[in-house]
Chain A
Amino acid sequence: MAVCIAVIAKENYPLYIRSVPTQGELKFHYTVHTSLDVVEEKISGVGKALADQRELYLGLLYPTEDYKVYGYVTNSKVKFVIVVDSSNTSLRDNEIRSMFRKLHNSFTDVMCNPFYNPGDPIQSKAFDSIVSTMMVQAF
């Protein structure tokens, strides 16, 4: 269960960011922002030759004492960032991958909507519901 999920556009501005409100969203925004650097580093490090083979799932970007940040990049350089609580040890890599996969799928659905202009903030209810299922249930 994530505490924060963010979708960052290619130009590195957020298309969608949502976090569990209990802990101060600003902190998560900051975390996501800093994680972008790590993402850039990872995707640029692969090199042009391997660009095709670059895997979309980036894995753990960096851990802090409170939480861990995972990243995922699409082929169009749209980044998904998931922040999970460190205390939540039961989350396995596979689960994170599946979360990203779901995110990617619903993001694709949003993109397919002709009324959505790429670059607009994502306001789709379907997307929201998918994200809700993945977020820690706020109490």
Chain B
Amino acid sequence: MESLTLSDVEQKYYSELFLFCDVDNTKKVASNGKVLDLFRAAQLSNEVVHQITELCGATRLGHFGRSQFYIALKLIALAQSGLPLRVESLNNVRDLPLPRFVMGKNEQEMRHAVMFADTENQGPYLPRPPGRVQAKKVSAHEMIQPCVPTVDPQPDTTSPVVSPHQSPPTSPHAWRKHKRQASGGNVDRQPSVPGVVWPPFREAQPGPVTGDGLWSAHSPPPVQESWVSFTDTPPSCTLPMHPPSAQLQQENSNGGLLLLTQPESTTVRTVPSSMTTNEIQRQTSGYDDPWKITDEQRQYYINQFKTIQADLTGFIPGSAAKEFFTKSKLPILELSHIWELSDFDKDGALTLDEFCAAFHLVVARKNGYDLPEKLPESLMPKLIDLDDSAGVPEPDPEVGFSASPVEVTPNKSPSMPSLNQNWPELNQSNEQWETFSERSSSSQTLTQFDSNIAPADPDTAIVHPVPIRMTPSKIHMQEMELKRTGSDHTHPTSPLMAKPPELSEETKLAAAIKFPGTTVGDGYSSSDSFTSDQEPISSAVNRQRSHSGTSPEGLKVVAPPPPPPRIITSHSRSSSLDMNRNFAAVPAGPQQPGVVAFPPAVPPRPLPTQTSVPHGHRSVEGDGLPSHPSTSPQQMPEQPNFADFSQFQVFAVDQPADDGEKPSDSGQAERSAETTGTMRTAKNEVQAEERNANSVNSAKVSTPLAPPPKPVRRRLKSEDELRPDVEDLPQKSTVIATVLATQPSIPRSIGKDKKAIQASIRRNKETNTVLARLNSELQQQLKDLLEERISLEVQLEQLRPFSHL
């Protein structure tokens, strides 16, 4: 026939109708039966229908091709608007309203969206399915005719014809486009029209939607799609847009029907339908989230949930859910994907929230929405308690469902992911904290403690407790005292000792040492009888700590409380001495050039630590500073207190914890020497160690951080390079020795006031901090140097063969 020009709206509408009629899915020919039904539904007399058929050429062809169909539709529209049927008028008539069809009761879900593309088009709109909204209405006309019976329960689920349309309600998209108008309007406009039922128009893609087709046995859902496109009409449509939710809800009801495929579905449907209208009124128009579940929908879902699992706080096992969702006739692959998305906690069962999310996704999919890759936030189960399994639903869904759960969910969901993500971090950090505190509290623990703490950033505010040896060997005490200039560690040994794990001589400084242990100290205090003693000390320590930054020694150590001294349970003073000796011996032997006996050698902390009583610090497993036979044994044990190093004792840095007491400034150089010594010792021969130890002992002075690393660096060179260093060492050690010598022995004056103790504590803390840092730096250097050494050796090896030739 003549070429037919159709407006876009009409085009879409017609194609949808065509698809609807295309029972055989040929996409080319509309079955006669359906077409005729359709035409009859247009409420035109048979005569007219006949006429139309003839005009469009179907009679000629014997079937309705697409073009014939379109022409016929147009003619119907003409007829409906009362215009004479003329072929010519097909193209002439402008603003022809769309043909209107009244369908008999169909499956309830027929909804229809009446939409008009042209605003001015007041044309007839398809009657709305009960309660289904969607009518996108042209703004000017409220024509939506909501059809009928919103509450019209369409009991005959079996109604033949247009079942497919029942498919899920228009996609939210459509709704979104059309701001819903006052819902009230919508309701009002719903004249009861008998039996409407056109599938709702969906905004969805105009193309046929495959997904939805599953619902009905009949014509393909795509029709809906096309209908939807209809709805693309200008947003000005005043149709009370049914909020997507409403649509979905209708869908749900549809879904319910389909899913349940039981008579009861009707009831279900009715429920939602009835709610729909209300919903329409209630729904906010501003809602853009297509995945949001409206109250009705949620209610519907909950009802469905109840049918499977009466307890709303319980789970639906996977098998039951599988059966349920299989009824929706979505492909298994998609259902599988939906399951993956919605089973938030991956437990193989669905909680109420998960179920709602899954259902919602099914509905959306049936409507043609593509499944998201990730669960949308609004569908994420509300985690009331992060610890609980995901989506513990409120026990009482019915009640405050409206809005609150939905809103809550979105609120939570956005935060949820972040919460979820933060959780592990929090946990980690918690753990760190925990471990930290554990460390602090477990003063008795263990050498390992030292090693753990070694890397700890001394700058952190978290101070791991300075373990105070509660059972300080008297020897230790004595040593400390000897070394000590005067900090009053009078009793230090006891309480102080108790604390720091490092048996370090630091105990002498005890009080001072334990700074970090302040809190920790308390913890320690509990460890032994010294509790009472410790407390004051710890408080003193605290005070010390606060002053640490201003230590008179001029320790440039950063104020942060030094990590609590490590407890070297295994090394009592005496034992540390032994260890020192042992280690000293060991390195002497193996002297593996690049090999740093880590455990043994703790690079002696720079003097500063020594001065400030780092004794307490880093526990000494190290007492490593062992090999320092020359230095006074007392001094040696102290050094290990620097803990970190003690591990690597070889350096035998007897951190002169004791010395730390004294504000020996001379120590700087020595300190550096010590540290270097410590570093070196690892690599160097024993002597160096010894010297270092000595130096360290003497050092105790403010720690010149800079110097220590330098020499250390030098030390960390290859063996060859070390040699010269070694030479330096002796020099340094001598210097250190002198310094040490100069340092007054630690006054045993118990009478020393707390001030001294505090001062020493402070110093020690600073020293400790510095040493800790130094330690880590040195270790790093050491590693680097080791690598260098290895590479050099490799090169050497490569070169050697040639030389041998």
A residues at B contact (CB < 8 Å): 109, 112-116, 123-126
Contact = CB atoms under 8 A, between A and B. Distances in A.
Nearest to B333: A123
A125 B348 contact: no
A124 B347 contact: no
Nearest to A114: B318
Contacts of A113: 318, 336, 339-340, 343, 348
Interface residues of A: mostly helix, strand, loop or mixed?
loop
A109 B340 contact: yes
Nearest to B316: A114
A116 B334 CA distance: 11
Interface string B315-347: 000110110011000001101110110010011
B387 interface: no
Contacts of B319: 114
Contacts of A124: 336-337, 340
Contacts of A112: 318, 343, 346-348
B373 interface: yes
Given A112-B347, A114-B321, A123 B340 contact: no
20 contacts: A109-B346, A112-B318, A112-B343, A112-B346, A113-B318, A113-B336, A113-B340, A114-B318, A114-B319, A114-B321, A114-B339, A115-B325, A115-B332, A115-B335, A115-B339, A116-B336, A123-B333, A123-B336, A124-B340, A125-B340
Contacts of A123: 333, 336
Interface in B326-381: 326, 332-333, 335-337, 339-340, 343, 346-348, 373
Nearest to B323: A114
A115 B333 CA distance: 8
A124 B332 CA distance: 11
Given A109-B340, A112-B347, A115-B336, A125 B322 contact: no
A112 B347 CA distance: 7
A123 B332 CA distance: 11
Contacts of B333: 123
Nearest to A116: B336
A110 to B, nearest CB: 8
A114 B326 CA distance: 11
B214 to A, nearest CB: 15
Contacts of B335: 115
B188 to A, nearest CB: 44
B259 to A, nearest CB: 15
Contacts of B322: 114-115
Contacts of A114: 318-319, 321-322, 339, 348
Given A116-B336, A125-B340, A125-B373, 9 more contacts: A112-B346, A112-B347, A113-B336, A113-B348, A114-B318, A115-B325, A115-B332, A115-B339, A126-B340
Nearest to B334: A115
B323 to A, nearest CB: 9
Nearest to B317: A114
A129 to B, nearest CB: 9
A115 B323 CA distance: 9
A109 B339 CA distance: 11
A121 to B, nearest CB: 10
The winner among A109, A114, A123, A126 for most chain B CB atoms within 10 A is: A114
B334 to A, nearest CB: 9
Contacts of B339: 113-115
Interface string B723-745: 00000000000000000000000
Contacts of B373: 125
A39 to B, nearest CB: 27
Nearest to A106: B346
Contacts of B337: 124-125
Nearest to A129: B373
Contacts of B346: 109, 112
A20 to B, nearest CB: 22
B111 to A, nearest CB: 29
B773 to A, nearest CB: 30
B79 to A, nearest CB: 50
A117 B340 CA distance: 14
The winner among A109, A113, A124, A126 for most chain B CB atoms within 10 A is: A113
A126 B371 CA distance: 13
B370 to A, nearest CB: 12
A112 to B, nearest CB: 4
Interface in B465-486: none
Nearest to B332: A115
Contacts of B321: 114
A98 to B, nearest CB: 16
Q: Which 9 pairs between the two chains have the least Cβ-Cβ distance?
A: A114-B318, A115-B336, A114-B322, A112-B348, A115-B335, A113-B339, A109-B346, A126-B340, A115-B332
The winner among A109, A112, A123 for most chain B CB atoms within 10 A is: A112
Contacts of A115: 322, 325-326, 332, 335-336, 339
A114 B321 CA distance: 8
Nearest to B321: A114
